[in-house]
Structure 1
Amino acid sequence: MGAQGKIAQIDSQRPFSPSLVDGFQRKHDYLRISLTEKCNLRSFSKEHILTDDEVIRLATLFVRSGVTKIRLTGGEPTIRKNIVDIVGRLNELRPLGLKSIGMTTNGLVLSRKLSDLVKSGLTHLNLSLDTFDPFKFELITRRRGHEAVLRALDMALNNPLLRSVKLNVVVMKDVNDGEILDFVDLTKKTRLSVRFIEFMPFTGNSWQKDKMIPSSELLHIISQRHPGVRKASDELNDTARSYVIPGYRGSFGFISSMSDHFCGSCNRLRITADGQIKVCLFDSTEVSLRDAMRSGASDEALLGVIGRAVGNKKEKHAGMEDIDVIHNRPMILIGASPSFSHIDDHGRPTMVDVGHKAVTRRQAVATGRIVLTRDAFRSPKAKARSKGNVLTVAQLAGIMACKATSTLIPLLELSPVRETQSIRCTATVECDAKTGVEMEALTAVSVSLLTVWDMVKAVAGKEMVIQDIMVTSKVGGKSGDWTRVQS
């Protein structure tokens, strides 16, 4: 008997705990453990998070009960301080029946740790990347690091010890659906598996039904480009329906959680970073294993808590119209996704209906700066006789412009500058009049950039800065022609 046969024989003889079998006779041998609720650059209290020893204790209990696959998630698992040690300790559970250790990561800091993680026992890696566009990447993730993710992906594909490398792509209409074929092209020369995930509703990710594209539509788009595409064999509990293109080394697939339930073969359980067991991703019900452990519960008592939770698992999750978005915790892995409400299905500017919104008291504070010459700064009333007190007039003008914003907002074509992760706006104003053009040009630029701010504030409202608004040249008028010398 070969090695694989002996392993199969041992597996068949190992008892599977009834605590991991639900009322529909589904055996749960796949455990996802969230190591942190953090994403990079965000801080949370550590007191409620499971300790390393608590993570290992639960993992050991689950493996002894029948779990063969563990995947580490988050938040972002790679920012867990002892992540390499945790993987190494999980690797010691292999004699108990653990077969694989996976991780899902955003890849931002993975390149520094990947080699050590693999040496410690990591076997499967899922990277999350929703766009090839660095500028769009920053809008979606609210941080830089696009190159770091691509570098991590390249390192993973070139590491022969990793059994599987997958790329998770959450597809959103009018955000990244135009890049589907580009992602499929990645599978031509690499062993990569690209998985397109339907946009799913969770607290904080601005889910909208019309942003979710059914997997069937994506397959149709891909089939038009690649008519030879064919279905690949799936394992019984695969969440992704996989396909291959003849001649391509890799594969692609769809995780159709919204349009096509695969609940009938679900074998997954989840432990959140704060030690709650979730038996379904879309079910807000949680039971605290952390509190039980910290209250002195034995392994037998813990297994009883787990068994009761698994026993209450439903046959399938609710449809997209009925999922409990309000009470289900945010899934930071999926992340907050941008909702460009001012753009229609064809990418054209459109008005937004706010008639349904309630009238509430609101306040916003914005700051700006204009750098003056020394003489102008010392004498703000120097032009008082010809144009009035500068500060008073500017104050009144600002108030009047604020009240008239709805009539001022223009829609201009703006140019992203990838090197500085910014948007540049240039306005050219021409007129035949007794005065004007400078203020008109400045107003066009200012209000256009304010429009950009308003449209993407849900994605990057806290990070954006409007700056460097200036007149760069003028032709005609009493002051004559001039061009600003760029420093």
Structure 2
Amino acid sequence: MPSRPLMCIATAKPLSAWYERTSLLRGAAVRHHSSTSSSTLTSLTGTFSLGSEPSSATSDHTALLSTRAKAQARIARVDSTSPSKVSPFLIDSFGRKHDYLRISLTEKCNLRCELDCTTPCMAQTPTIRTYCMPETGVKLLPRDDLLTTDEIERTAKIFVTNGVTKIRLTGGEPTVRKDLIDVVTRLGRLPLDSLGMTSNGISLKRRLPQLVEAGLTHLNLSLDTLDPFKYELMTRRRGFSAVMESLQVARGLASQGLKTKINVVVIRGLNDDEVPHFVELIKDMDITVRFIEYMPFEDNRWSTTKLVPSAQLVAKLQTIHPTLEKLIDPHSDTTRSWRVPGYRGKVGFISSMSDHFCGECSRLRIGADGRVKVCLFGPPVLSLRPLLRSPETTDQDLMESVGRAVWGKKFAHNGLGGAEGIRENGKMGPMVGIVPDALWAEWIAFNPNWLRPQRPRQPLFARVPLHLLARSTPYAPRLATRLFSYSVRSNHAEDDSKPVDTLTHIDSRTGKASMVSVSSKAITFRSATAVGRIRLNEQAWSLIDFSTTSTDQVDRSSPPTMRTKKGDVLTIAHLAGLMATKQTSTLIPLCHPLLLTSIKLTLEPLFESTSIQITCRVECEGKTGVEMEALMGCQVALLTVWDMCKAVAGRDMVIEGVMVVEKSGGRSGDWKRED
């Protein structure tokens, strides 16, 4: 059960609400005090120290009551919608808090960004279909299938009540919706930190001042080229000048609090040469230009030739602007921000493919028809429309459904295993248009596990040492590691027999280290055994007590001991190996944390070579193998023997033959080293 917030004894309401109420009243009192010179406010109950005529005090008291009434009205509105923290319904199994909601207002768009580029100016890329409209077009849904203004408002209120602080309106193109200003006005009344909108800017210029007045605080303009001719080729519309005019209007509204960004989807061979020109925009404009890595949406089939990694763009800009500076980014921000000294604006890079930010994901998406996507790379997992239109469905019922969907969210890229997994196995829903029934059926056929009954989640925390537990959500104690992932797939090994001919921990496009995603793998039994030995000199070997019998035969029933000035060598090495095995993911940067079920480590003297052989066998039920854990236990045990014998054996010791000799489960199946 979710833990209850601290309550105020006097009001029986959460202390956070009491604190906000007190702050608002205090602010009202301070404003009143600063505007009156004839009286001194001493309390919020109407007690004054009079410094002038009674009539003046009476008018001051009336003014205070009016100010307090306004503050109390504001408090009532805040109390009804503002939460003290993110609700457990919006926290997934990895502890990520989802306080950012993107709402699609329409599937329509007034551009047609679908183009087979065969023009001479783009001869180097004879066939490039531009982001984001699918080649096959979009079949529009019936109007009755789209959320109404009232349904959008109710949905937003429910999410804000449960902890959402940021809402962004998207499409299609939001300005195509006729009641856009009404929608923004309604959402603008909610206690949000940010109310943003993404637009192509074609028909925005005249409506933007009204939208800002209604509550719009952030605007993202989508603009992929600064060449008017190329813009017309890409969009099939002569709208470049209209977009630039909208940008100028947005700049003029900065004094009213509007923050503007330009989103540029960079596609190799199409507009990557314009990146420096976009950067020049911020020289005199206090805006942010964000370069977004191309992503494979539905019919825009994956092709690594189209992707320009953000690291390459940064390196390119650093050759032009050697003083380019990295900025500190807010928590859970998808943008990696930079600035050019002397320029007014900023540059940002959204590297969702080459350097994903899934670990801090705080976003949920609601389509124009009410379908919820918990991950951009996956299909909708819940439809809110029937719930919103059912008279029996309460707000609590709706959030319970949302909570189940959020809890099932995979760690990264919908469990497809990163960019390579998307390229080989994955598809993504179209950016424009919500998945129609035919495509929804295709998704279910492609991902049948979405509809399979989920087996009960095991309370892993019940079997975990206390020092690994974290208070990540009010639901229950949780592991602060990758251990708490949950797979709905069957408990059988996947068909991973295909050999891998690349270094999986190195991103082939950027050359940077990358932690391999195991989200899509099944939980199976896995084991690994590693061996190694350390050769000792005669003096160190003589310290081993083999518990010989009267016939000078070694008593195998009694474990050998070996003592130096530092203590019992073999016992301490045994303990060190066990401890190190459990710390593998801490010591190896790209190794996944695992919940180990068994560690068996033995130290065996080898008489013929005066050496000690160490064998470490590790077992677990997980999504990745335990070879590294077995090697770690073996190596650290060997190093401990070395450390404790170095005063005796000195330079004569040699560690050799460390290897994995047996493993089961995983991509390569079961195998055993024969030599």
- TM-score calculated relative to the size of structure 1: 0.64
Match of 2:185 in 1: 88
Residues 321-330 or 267-276, more deviating:
321-330
Match of 1:323 in 2: 422
Counterpart among 226, 242, 247 of residue 148 in structure 1: 242
1:192, distance to aligned residue in structure 2 (A):
0.9
Structure 2 unaligned regions, length at least 5: 1-18, 25-77, 113-138, 434-675
Question: Is 1:314 aligned to 2:410, yes or no?
Answer: yes
Higher relative contact order (CA 8 A, sep 6+): 1
Check whether the contact 1:184–1:252 (CA below 8 A) recurs between aligned residues.
yes
1:237, distance to aligned residue in structure 2 (A):
1.1
1:52, distance to aligned residue in structure 2 (A):
0.5
- 1:402-421 counterparts in 2 under 5 A? none
Equivalent-residue separation in structure 1 for 2:23 and 2:267 (angstroms): 46
CA RMSD of aligned residues (A): 2.4
Match of 1:269 in 2: 364
1:15, distance to aligned residue in structure 2 (A):
3.9
SS in 1 for 2:262: strand
Match of 1:192 in 2: 287
Counterpart among 82, 97, 105 of residue 199 in structure 2: 105
Counterpart among 307, 319, 326 of residue 231 in structure 1: 326
Q: Between Structure 1 and Structure 2, which shows a larger proportion of strand residues?
A: 2
Equivalent-residue separation in structure 2 for 1:261 and 1:13 (angstroms): 30
Equivalent-residue separation in structure 2 for 1:124 and 1:273 (angstroms): 20
Describe the superposition over 1:148-205 as per-residue Cα deviations: whole angstroms up to 9, x where unpaired: 0111011101212234110000000000011000000011111110000000011133
Distance change >3 Å, CA 13–CA 33, structure 1 → 2: closer
Larger radius of gyration: 2
Q: Which amino acid counterpart does residue 35 of structure 1 have in structure 2? A: L
Q: Which amino acid counterpart does residue 100 of structure 2 have in structure 1? A: Y
Structure 1 unaligned regions, length at least 5: 334-487
Equivalent-residue separation in structure 1 for 2:85 and 2:290 (angstroms): 33
Match of 2:398 in 1: 302
- 1:57-456 counterparts in 2 under 5 A? 57-94=154-191, 98-159=192-253, 160-296=255-391, 297-317=393-413, 318=416, 319-323=418-422, 328-332=428-432
Equivalent-residue separation in structure 2 for 1:123 and 1:308 (angstroms): 31
Counterpart among 2, 5, 29 of residue 99 in structure 2: 29
- TM-score calculated relative to the size of structure 2: 0.47
Check whether the contact 1:101–1:123 (CA below 8 A) recurs between aligned residues.
yes
Equivalent-residue separation in structure 2 for 1:208 and 1:89 (angstroms): 42
Q: Which amino acid counterpart does residue 171 of structure 2 have in structure 1? A: G
Distance change >3 Å, CA 248–CA 109, structure 1 → 2: same
SS in 2 for 1:104: strand
Q: Percent identity?
A: 53
1:30, distance to aligned residue in structure 2 (A):
0.5
Describe the superposition over 1:79-125 as per-residue Cα deviations: whole angstroms up to 9, x where unpaired: 1111011100001112xxx2211000000000021010000000000
Equivalent-residue separation in structure 2 for 1:176 and 1:15 (angstroms): 42
Q: Which amino acid counterpart does residue 72 of structure 1 have in structure 2? A: L
1:57, distance to aligned residue in structure 2 (A):
0.6
Equivalent-residue separation in structure 2 for 1:22 and 1:277 (angstroms): 15
Residues 193-202 or 279-288, more deviating:
279-288
SS in 2 for 1:197: strand
Count residues with an aligned counterpart.
327
SS in 2 for 1:252: strand
SS in 2 for 1:194: strand
Distance change >3 Å, CA 56–CA 149, structure 1 → 2: same
Q: Which amino acid counterpart does residue 87 of structure 1 have in structure 2? A: V
SS in 1 for 2:421: coil
SS in 1 for 2:265: strand
